[in-house]
Amino acid sequence: MNNARRPSMIGDALAQVGAAGLFLFAILAAIPKSLRHFRETLRQIWFVGAMSLVIIMTCGLFVGMVLSLQLYYTLAKFGGTAALGTVVALSLFRELGPVVTALLFAGRAGTSMTAEIGLMRATDQLSAMEMMAVDPLSYVVAPRFIAGIVAMPLLACIFNALGILGAHLVGVSWLGLDNGTFWGNMTANVDVWTDLVNGVWKSTAFGAVIALIATFQGYTTPPTSEGVAYATTRTVVSSSIVVLALDFVMTAFLM
Amino acid sequence: MTQPRRSFQVGTGLFILLGFAALAYLATQTTSVANHTQGDSYALKAKFSNIGQLKQRAPVKLAGVRIGSVQSIMLDQQSLSAVVTIGIDKQYQEIPDDSAAAIFTSGLLGDQYVGIQPGGSPVMFKDGDEVILTQSSMQLEDLIGKFLVSGDSSKAPPKADADGPGTAPPAKP
């Protein structure tokens, strides 16, 4: 039984990846038409971006604070606490900012996209749109996809900024590091293109991947309440895996 | 109906503005862009026999105050020495032309910078002048090498005692 199932599981996974790839092309083809629904896109940016601000800002602040605390402890062993600003900024811009924001984004915005589209599917709203000659790809899916791509890098930048503020709060105000050393070392060693902008590109790619997975899972969910529940779970699981894997690949090739 | 629609549009606009403001803040305050010299500058040349790890845009300091940055580093084919062009901010005009330039390291492992030690000449540097008195960067390896060599002689008896002169020869197989 087990032996007979294994190939079909691999086959299922491959079929899922293939279907998601085809879905991506369908979305890209629907984007020109979706530009007519500009308001809807704006509403989605508001929903996935602006409504995620609270969680992103809080987490950014705390990640920056704990990063400062932990790295201070580590650097103190080498007598290199002067490099705290540099190390915090580099790890935030290059790695933690894009990745943690993407994981939070998958949990906060990806799930709601999947659940919303999945419920539209389960309650036959998508079929109703097709009946009324409204393409659900260009009216429902594409605006969410664009919103994911637009909102993710902005959220990552806000996360980074709050992280730096948190690190400054702990490092300078609490641990007593010199203010000038903190900023001076940071500005001397952090490059705007190789460090900051590469992180922004990474977060843009993460936004596209999360939005693709979330809309794909919602669009292809079995039209039952159980199906929607599974689809939502799968969104979080596969987005997290794909984001971390893609992070490694992009870091290896881009930086 | 228009009221809620307008409010989310304004909110979306604010969100996008906030995101770009964060990006601009990060780019201008936390990266090397913050170190760019803003105003006009005039160029001085200085020849060094060894510049160590000096890089472009490294700071130029006088009495610890940043007065400019390294603009370019080239190799002089004739003398086989490094020619460093440094840009000094226009507001610092009064630097005597017998001042010396040296390459220092901030901290033990920090970045390298060009330090200007002011001289006493009544004539000031002008654009394109060359700094004659220069001192190359201190190489940690050279210092260690010199220390190991001098450790064998009787110049530093306490250190030689602590290190044990006998341990030096077996250390290089």
pLDDT in tens, B21-34: 999 999 888 887 77
Instruction: Look at residue B173 and tell me if it is in a domain.
Output: no
pLDDT (tens place) for every residue of chain A, 255 residues total: 455 556 678 888 899 899 999 999 999 999 999 888 888 999 999 999 999 999 999 999 999 999 999 999 999 998 888 889 999 999 999 999 999 999 999 999 999 999 999 999 999 999 999 999 989 999 999 999 999 999 999 999 999 999 999 999 999 999 998 888 888 888 878 888 889 999 999 999 999 999 999 999 999 999 999 999 999 999 999 999 999 999 999 999 886
In A, residues 32-61, which contact B (CB 8 Å cutoff)? 39, 42-43, 45-46, 49-50, 53
* Residue of B7, B26, B61 for testing the chain A interface, max A β-carbons within 10 Å: B26
Check CB contact under 8 Å for A45 and B16: yes
B111 touching chain A per CB within 8 A: yes
Would you give the DSSP letter of residue B96? B
Which pLDDT belongs to residue B37?
53
Q: Give yes or no: residues B112 and B96 share one domain.
A: yes
Query: Which tokens hold the place of A39?
Result: 């308001």
Which pLDDT belongs to residue B161?
46
The whole-angstrom distance between B173's CA and the closest CA on chain A is 30
Provide the 10 A C-beta neighbour count for residue B81. Answer: 17
Query: Which tokens hold the place of B45?
Result: 């040349």
Which pLDDT belongs to residue B4?
58
Which pLDDT belongs to residue B5?
63
CB B68 within 8 A of CB B37: yes
Q: Residue A200: what residue type?
A: V
Q: Of B113, B76, B104, B90, give the one whose Cα is nearest residue B44.
A: B90
Q: Give yes or no: residues B50 and B122 share one domain.
A: yes
pLDDT at residue B159 greater than cutoff 60: no
pLDDT at residue B172 greater than cutoff 60: no
B10 touching chain A per CB within 8 A: no
Cα separation values, A84 from A26, A189, B63, Å: 47, 11, 25
Q: Which residues contact B15 (CB under 8 A, 6 or more apart)?
A: A45, A46, A49, A50, A53, A151, A154
The whole-angstrom distance between A8's CA and the closest CA on chain B is 45
Check CB contact under 8 Å for B26 and A154: no
B16 touching chain A per CB within 8 A: yes
Which residues of chain B make contact with A93, given a CB cutoff of 8 A?
26
Q: Of B12, B29, B20, give the one whose Cα is nearest residue A158.
A: B20
CA closest to B14 among chain A residues: A50
Which pLDDT belongs to residue B167?
44
Instruction: Look at residue B163 and tell me if it is in a domain.
Output: no
Q: Give yes or no: residues B54 and B95 share one domain.
A: yes
User: What angle is formed at CA B142 by the lines to CA B136 and CA B144, rounded to 5 degrees?
Assistant: 135
Residue A37 host element (H or E): none
Instruction: Look at residue B165 and tell me if it is in a domain.
Output: no
Count of the separate structural domains present in chain B: 2
Check CB contact under 8 Å for B14 and A50: yes
Euclidean distance between the first and the last CA atom of chain B, given in angstroms as a whole number: 86
Q: What is the dihedral of CA B154, B156, B161, B162, to 10 degrees?
A: -160
Across the interface, which of B15, B27, B109 has its CB nearest the CB of A196?
B27
Q: Give yes or no: residues B19 and B46 share one domain.
A: no
Q: Give yes or no: residues B101 and B24 share one domain.
A: no
* Residue of A157, A159, A204 for testing the chain B interface, max B β-carbons within 10 Å: A157
Pairs of CB atoms within 8 A across A/B: 89
Q: What is the dihedral of CA A123, A127, A132, A134, to 10 degrees?
A: 100
Query: Which tokens hold the place of A14?
Result: 């491959």
Per the structure, the complete domain to which residue B111 belongs is given by 37-138
Find tokens 């920090």 and name the residue.
Answer: B110
CB B45 within 8 A of CB B99: no
Q: Give yes or no: residues B59 and B133 share one domain.
A: yes
Check CB contact under 8 Å for B19 and A157: yes
Q: Give yes or no: residues B41 and B66 share one domain.
A: yes
Distance CA A195, CA A89 (A): 9
For the segment B49-62, what is each residue's pLDDT rounded down to a tens digit?
Answer: 888 888 877 888 88
pLDDT at residue B162 greater than cutoff 80: no
Q: Give yes or no: residues B47 and B124 share one domain.
A: yes
Which residues of chain B make contact with A46, given a CB cutoff of 8 A?
8-9, 11-12, 15
Q: Give yes or no: residues B64 and B86 share one domain.
A: yes
Distance CA A133, CA A121 (A): 16
For the segment B95-131, what is each residue's pLDDT rounded down to a tens digit?
Answer: 888 888 988 887 666 678 888 988 888 888 888 888 8
pLDDT at residue B2 greater than cutoff 60: no
Which pLDDT belongs to residue B151?
63
Instruction: Look at residue B169 and tell me if it is in a domain.
Output: no
Q: Give yes or no: residues B93 and B16 share one domain.
A: no
Q: Give yes or no: residues B26 and B41 share one domain.
A: no
Which pLDDT belongs to residue B152?
58
A78 touching chain B per CB within 8 A: no
Instruction: Look at residue B151 and tell me if it is in a domain.
Output: no
pLDDT at residue B93 greater than cutoff 80: yes
CA closest to A88 among chain B residues: B30
Q: Of B81, B62, B60, give the one whose Cα is nearest residue B70.
A: B60
All structural domains of chain A with their residue ranges: 2-254
**Summary count for chain B: helices (H), strands (E):** 3, 8
CA B86, chain centre distance (Å): 10
Residue B60 host element (H or E): strand B59-62
Q: Give yes or no: residues B54 and B29 share one domain.
A: no
Q: Of B119, B141, B148, give the one whose Cα is nearest residue B132.
A: B119
Which residues of chain A make contact with B11, given a CB cutoff of 8 A?
46, 50
Which pLDDT belongs to residue A35?
87
